[in-house]
Structure 1
Amino acid sequence: MTLARLSLNQWTTRRWSLREAVDGCVRHGVAAIGLWREHVAEHGLAAAAKLVTDAGLRVSSLCRGGFLTGPGLGLKDNRAAIDEAAALNAACLVLVVGGLPGVAPGGAPGPGFSRDLPGARARVAEALALLAPYAAERGVRLALEPLHPVYCADRAVLSTLGQALDLAEHFPAEQVGVVVDTFHVWWDPEVLTQIARAAGRIASYQVSDFLVPLPADPLLGRGMMGDGVIDFGPLTAAVDAADYHGDIEVEIFNADVWAADPDEVLATMKRRFAAAAR
């Protein structure tokens, strides 16, 4: 993987502000950044767009929209997220589609809880049909992100790349694409076949390693490339063969990484990224 395609997803250096993350990218020669809406809101949308543009950085993605299975299909917030992605000239808006109705991320079942998994997936399709035209009018590409099955109940009822493609293929590729995130899809015996099927529809490629044993909170089980069990070479080769030549984001949720000096994290990230495909 060439360093020219390397992007820092903000969550990897979570304790940095937006300005600190942008300055860090410039200092370390990282040409792209994946932004999170919380950090953008803290800085102000117009100011954030100017900051990134003035630094000469590409916005590889905006995280995140989605959570389409709850009340109102999340339409109001997602339209706002689409507007933000347009203002930032983001390559895509990542959609984490949401879990079972009434289950908050990391939480227990609450009001409105339903065990109807097929119904939840139908709600995602319904919301996507309403949001895709809005996004297309604003030049924003939506990117469906399947998550590891352990997150099916509370974060994403799409668990495989194949499921994401089944939904995305109802729309033009420039309107709705998919995210290939190594942490979430490496285990799938069909992953290489599905990556090939996704040719022209991959909107984002995100990399981090899958740690074993997983921590008590599996959300924090992502590691720096080389610290876990994923064989990145075949996945990256398949993504390249599927005609994705955009930025490659390093997105890590890990308490130890967050506690470390962010400059050291970026230096390590660059070394590991360069070695990951070997």
Structure 2
Amino acid sequence: MIGYLVRRLLLGAVQVLLVVVGVFLLTEALPGDAAVTIAGDKPDPAVIAGLRAELGLDRPMWQRFAEWLGSALQGDLGTSLVGPRPVAEMIGTAAGPTLLLAGLALALLVPLSTGLGVLAARHEGSRLDRLVTSTTLGLYAAPEFAMAILLVAVFAVQLGWFPPTAIGGSLSSNPALLALPILVLLLRPICSLSRLVRAGMIDAQRSPFVQHARRLGLSPTRIRFAHALPNAAAPAVQQLARTADWLIGGVIVVEAIFVIPGLGTSLLEAVSARDLPVVQGLALVFATTTVLVNLGADLAARALSPTSEVGR
């Protein structure tokens, strides 16, 4: 296990480095830079040149990246070119709303998707099973932005049950602001996870160890939740890790539609302003989160199903 952890962490470090290098090169390829953004709509070339020199943007690309990487390895993500504020402080401030949304979504996702999958597997082939399967398949096919716009139009604009955006409100003091964003974040993950749990439960209930448990006279409830579900949950845990990664680093669309000041909104603003240190810092956070979450998922899947090849 220690050797496996070391290999995965080394591989993860290489992956994070490749992501950071790729993001740096892509951002550099965009037209304009932070100096043009700061100069305004009708910039003076002399002013832009002075700003580039002041911000260090006139130095070679490799030199700027090497300096940033050296500082990042020491825990310093630099300073925003537009702010100016420390990048770590900006990420810490923006992480609050994103983590709140992601945490609440995950807290609801696990019991809802597990319960729905177990319910569908218990009534395999019935109308209920077909209804759950067809509904989840249809919802999964709908993109997040379309569902978000539809929910806002119906529940916020027409019915007036929830606020359409978070403008002028606080997520912590007004829970109603969280209802529609969390619902949008839950719809697709519930569909995918519940289908995985259903398929895993059906396979587990037909397996020899479950049949042996039935011959021993164990109750159906104990067989279902104590024996079948842990084995069925192994592939679902890996999907849950990908979902957690998406919730933390891929809520850009949801945050943009509902005007939530989280990491996704910060990334959009940084790319628009060509604020490279902020973009690099967010890329580092997202990439590191992806590596750690997927490593944790592999370890959890192996613990739930020791016979699985995951993590070997």
TM over 0.5: no
TM-score normalised to the size of structure 1? 0.23
Scaled by the length of structure 2, the TM-score of the pair is 0.21
Q: Which structure's residues are more often strand, by fraction?
A: 1
With a CA cutoff of 8 Å and minimum separation of 6, indicate the structure with the bigger relative contact order: 2
